[in-house]
Amino acid sequence: MKRKKVLASSFCLVLSMSMVLSACSGTKDGANSGEKENTGAKINPVGKYPIADEKINLKVFTQQDVNVENLETNDFTKWYESKTNVHVEWEVVPKSAAAEKLQVKLAGGDLPEVFMSAGITDSQLVAYGSQGLFMPLNDLIDKYAPNVKKMMKNSPWLDQYMYTPDGKIYSIPNVGETFHATMPKKLFIYKPWLDKLGLQIPTTTEELYNVLLAFKTKDPNGNGKADEIPLSGANGTTNSNNEPESFIMQSFVYYDKTSYLMVDKGQVEFAADKPGYKEGLKYVRRLVQDGLLQPDAFIQDRKALTALAEDPAGSRLGAGTALYWGNMTIDNGPSGRYKDYVAVPVLKGPNGQFFGFDRGHVPSAGAFVITRNNKNPEASMRWIDWFFDEHAKLNEGWSDYLGQEGVGWKKPESGMKGIDGRPATYHMIMPFGTKNNNRWTQTAPRYQDEAFRMSLAATPEAETEVRLQANTKELYKPFSKAEMQVPHMFFKEEDLAKFGDIQKNITTVVQDFMLKFVTGSLDIEKDWGKYTQELDNAGLQQYLKIVRENYSKIKK
């Protein structure tokens, strides 16, 4: 397989603290040269099952999915083994311990045959791939994975998540083209309070201020107490889209909180020291100072936020930010009040500006890795390839993601529409989040293209997703600044270690000063120089130099 060049504007992965990235370097002719395939059991031709007439054992290391009871006794496990004649010897580790266990495996050389959904980072792909611990997959995909090849053809933007700087592929990603998750920074506002006070959904930062002020001063819940919380959010330790400043900053600067980087006029820039960022901080400080934004929004967890909306006496929450995967912050609580929270579009800033954060589709790059200890790499590639055709799965009546037909899902009734209004192809019976032993849910990587993902039957159970789809299309995509998103880059190995440390230090500085600025511990004007000096001390210039050098190569 020959690597294709892809325009930078089509890339969409955010640079994250947990993934040290490295730059792709253009087309690599002869990328497959020198690859070796182990010889193990004799396998049958592609498309024929079982994969081998002789049973094959496959040692797989994976993280525990809390919604799967037991992978060894799982109904899907049994069915897929009967189909393929591949028996999996599972090594399942709790998610909380996965990173440590993975590093021990890699450092000690006690490798399974396959790492699947194990949390392998970009830096690990580059480092251990180049060292020979991970097997190059280029030839194996060419010969044994027609579904993966089809995915790469249909979604060419995936090239930058698969090809490392040496032109080799060391992992197959987990891909879900979910439209409403492309713009995760959303805000929802309580419509009954708007109606009671005769207010409209705000469209500018000043209108939002005035609406929140009315929520604070005009007793919209009618209990005679000043107990309303006009605006809140939740701590973003694990998700940078919960916090209210993540939504608000879109009115002032392009705000990718995992990297604080943006592409502006063809150049990678640092966003969190620009005038727009400073003005955004001033606005957030104004909201906090005037009692319109709850200070706890920056430190509380989702449960505390949900409790405000789910108060038995009536909602106390005027507006709240949303989770990155698209569910509303109030978690579709038992009161049903979530239905009364409506989406607020990206707000226009003081000068009419907006910078809608659009990350595009973001796959998990290191989802399936074949190690040097694999005795049957050809069979392993055939084994995983089946997972990358969701439409074929439904025809067989089984899906690792949905479970068995009649148990986890069923065929939709005639005329039933999907999430996007087109004909539905599957109707979920067992909601996600249900602990069961009929499917693997998120254990295996897969390719859910946009067409399949949106063909879920728009039943009452899927109502929230239908709303989010419409909200994103109507209220968020018109404000998208996708061209400002820094593309995904695999950094060269020599840049890996220093980049990760610098990024961590810079992120710490930005987050610490942001909290102090908006809560008033530091004065934004007087202490701005101290902030920018701390950024320089943390290595900001070196950070930008590394990213810009690598970006210049993929931009060609």
In the chain, the N- to C-terminal Cα span, in Å, equals: 21
Q: Which two tokens mark 173?
A: 């990603």
The position carrying tokens 């059991």 is 41
Give dist(CA 53, CA 119) in Å, integer.
32
Nearest to 171 by CA among 108, 122, 106: 122
Instruction: Please report the pLDDT score of residue 310 as a whole number.
Output: 86
Q: What CA–CA distances, in Å, run from 148 to 158, 162, 387?
A: 11, 11, 9
Q: Are 60 and 31 in contact (CB under 8 A)?
A: no
Instruction: Please report the pLDDT score of residue 66 as a whole number.
Output: 93
254-264, pLDDT tens digit by residue?
A: 999 889 999 99
Tell me the HSE value of 23 on the side-chain side, using a 13 A CA sphere: 19
Query: What are the residue boundaries of the structural domains of the chain, listed by start?
Result: 51-179+362-395, 187-344, 493-554
Instruction: Please report the pLDDT score of residue 480 as a whole number.
Output: 97
Q: Are 254 and 480 in contact (CB under 8 A)?
A: no
187-344: same fold as 51-179+362-395? yes
Q: Is the peptide bond before 50 cis (omega within 30 degrees of 0)?
A: yes
Instruction: Please report the pLDDT score of residue 416 as a whole number.
Output: 95
What is the dihedral sign for C-alpha 202, 207, 208, 211? negative
Instruction: Please report the pLDDT score of residue 460 as a whole number.
Output: 85
The total of other beta-carbon atoms located within 10 Å of residue 290's CB is: 13
Q: Which CATH class is domain 187-344?
A: alpha beta
Q: Which two tokens mark 73?
A: 């006794």
CATH number for region 51-179+362-395: 3.40.190.10
Give dist(CA 148, CA 132) in Å, integer.
23
Q: Are 122 and 365 in contact (CB under 8 A)?
A: yes
Give dist(CA 459, CA 412) in Å, integer.
10
Regions of the chain where pLDDT drops below 70: 1-39, 236-240, 322-333, 555-556
Q: Are strands 364-370 and 267-270 parallel, antiparallel or unpaired?
A: unpaired
The position carrying tokens 């969190």 is 272
Beta-strand (E) ranges in 170-283? 172-176, 187-190, 229-232, 261-264, 267-270
Q: Are 518 and 245 in contact (CB under 8 A)?
A: yes
Give dist(CA 148, CA 130) in Å, integer.
22
The position carrying tokens 């500085």 is 509
Nearest to 217 by CA among 314, 344, 318, 337: 318
Instruction: Please report the pLDDT score of residue 499 as a whole number.
Output: 85
Q: Which two tokens mark 6?
A: 């892809």
Q: State pTM to two decimals.
A: 0.86
Give dist(CA 455, CA 216) in Å, integer.
42
Give dist(CA 517, CA 7) in Å, integer.
38
Instruction: Please report the pLDDT score of residue 332 as a whole number.
Output: 61
Q: Are 484 and 263 in contact (CB under 8 A)?
A: yes
Instruction: Please report the pLDDT score of residue 331 as a whole number.
Output: 57
Q: Are 393 and 447 in contact (CB under 8 A)?
A: no
Task: Please give the full DSSP string across 514-555, using - where no structure is assigned.
Answer: HHHHHHTSS-TTTTHHHHHHHHHHHTHHHHHHHHHHHHHHH-
Instruction: Please report the pLDDT score of residue 4 as a whole number.
Output: 41
Nearest to 509 by CA among 537, 486, 485, 542: 537
Q: Which two tokens mark 10?
A: 């089509």
